[in-house]
Amino acid sequence: MKTEKLLLELEQLVEEAGYTIRKEKGTFRGDSCIVEGENLVVLNKKKPEQQQVGLLARVLKDKSLQDIYIKPAVRNHLEELWDRFDRFKDTEIEELDIDLD
């Protein structure tokens, strides 16, 4: 699955999990937060798509996704990424070379 397609699929899953996604430009990494009671994920548009995929996968990692349908190909990518996250320290996640093609 191409990175761009996976990014779109993960954005949809994050929204189904109850988050609003904002895409902004800046010098920040991006992350999830709660603002005035709203679950929010902020993505840095300047970051490569692979890093945006990594951020969305990290947001989904600790969420209950039992009631959300996840396409098998997307689930395989998520499980692979989650396994990689478990093997590295949190500070190294953004720097992972996520090769999806």
Paired sense of beta strands 20-24 and 38-44, if any: parallel
In CATH, what number is assigned to the domain containing residue 76? 3.30.2010
- How confident is the model over 3-27, as pLDDT tens digits? 999 999 999 999 999 999 999 999 9
Contact 57, 98 (CB under 8 A): no
- How confident is the model over 37-46, as pLDDT tens digits? 999 999 999 9
**98 part of a folded domain:** no
**60 part of a folded domain:** yes
- Cross-strand pairs, 41: 21, 32
Q: What is the pTM of this model?
A: 0.84
Q: State how many domains the chain has.
A: 1
Range of the domain at 69: 3-90
Residue 15's CB is within 10 A of a number of other CB atoms, namely: 13
Number of H helices, E strands in the chain: 3, 3
**37 part of a folded domain:** yes
